[in-house]
Amino acid sequence: MNTFVVSTDSKGEIEYKNNNKILYCSIIIPILILSITTCLNIRAKDTVLGDYLKIIDIIQEDIPVHQTTISKNFSVVKTSKETIHNDYVVLSTYKNNKSDDDKEIAVKIAQKEIEQLEK
């Protein structure tokens, strides 16, 4: 198609605004989120959570497992004479190979966990 413009009338100027706020937010928000998560991760390593993360790292380095989870919980047993409060840690792992000896791996995992919790 060939188009030729013979005459045009200008009705005013076209105004273009460059919205820098969107550009700045698209840069600052990801940096802010990354900074916050990094700070929280560093703080978590100095808490009980950090101790559990160390246990998970040690278990996964030394024992053939590909996933480990830890949770701390408590139970309360109330009898007619007393109330017993028990704290306990639950550790779950998933093995890499089905052929490995379950009992041997479970003993190794328990030993690693107890060693770390006693430190």
pLDDT tens figures, 18-62: 777 777 888 899 999 999 988 877 776 666 667 777 888 888 887
User: Residue 28 domain-assigned?
Assistant: no
User: Residue 114 domain-assigned?
Assistant: yes
Nearest to 94 by CA among 78, 109, 114, 76: 109
Task: Count up the domains in the chain and report the number.
Answer: 1
Kindly give the residue spans of alpha helices, DSSP state H, lying in the chain.
Answer: 20-44, 48-62, 102-118
| Alpha-carbon 105 to chain mean position | 26
User: Residue 90 domain-assigned?
Assistant: yes
Dist CA 89 CA 70 (whole Å): 7
Concatenated DSSP letters of 5-29: -------SPPP----HHHHHHHHHH
pLDDT band at 97 (very low <50, low <70, confident <90, very high): confident
Write out the residue range of the structural domain in which residue 52 sits: 48-118
